[in-house]
Amino acid sequence: MLEILDYLKDHVLMINLLIITIYLGFEVISKVPTVLHTPLMSGSNAISGIVIIGAIILVRQADATDYLTLGLGALGVVLGTINVVGGHAVTNRMLEMFKKK
Partner 1 sequence: MQYIELLYIVSTVLLIIGLRKLSSPSTARNGNVIAALGMGSAIFVAIFSPMANDQGNLLYIFGAIAIGSIIGLVYSKKVEMTGIPELVSVFNGFGGACAVSISILEAYKFDAASSYGLMATTYMALFIGGVAFTGSLIAYGKLAGKVKDWRSGISSYFNLAWLALCLGLIVFQVANPTAYAYLPLVILVVSLIYGLTFVWPIGGADMPVVISLLNALTGIAAALAGMVYGNMVMLLGGVLVGSSGAILTVLMCQAMNRSLINVVVGGFGASASAAATDQGDIKETTANDTAIMMRYAQNVMVIPGYGMAVAQAQKACKELDKSLTSRGVNVNYAIHPVAGRMPGHMNVLLAEADVPYNKLIDLDDANSMLTDTDVCLVVGANDVVNPSALDDPGSPIYGMPVLEILNSKNVVVLKRGMSKGYSGIENPLFFHDKTKMLFGDAKDTIETLNNEVKVMD
Considering only residues 34 to 63 of the shown chain, the ones binding partner 1 according to CB under 8 A are 34-63
Residue 1 touches partner 1, criterion: CB under 8 A: no
End-to-end CA distance of the chain: 61
CB of 86 to partner 1, least distance (A): 3
* Closest-CA residue to 29 (of 40, 16, 18): 40
Residue 16 touches partner 1, criterion: CB under 8 A: no
Residue 28 touches partner 1, criterion: CB under 8 A: yes
Residue 12 touches partner 1, criterion: CB under 8 A: no
Binding mask 61-100 for partner 1 (x = CB under 8 A): xxxx---xxx-xxxxxxxxxxxxxxxxxxxxxxxxxxxx-
Which amino acid is present at 93?
A: R
Residue 11 touches partner 1, criterion: CB under 8 A: yes
Residue 16 half-sphere exposure, CB side, CA atoms within 13 Å?
A: 5
**Are 81 and 52 within 8 A, CB to CB?**
yes
Residue 31 touches partner 1, criterion: CB under 8 A: yes
CB of 63 to partner 1, least distance (A): 6
* Closest-CA residue to 93 (of 48, 38, 52): 38
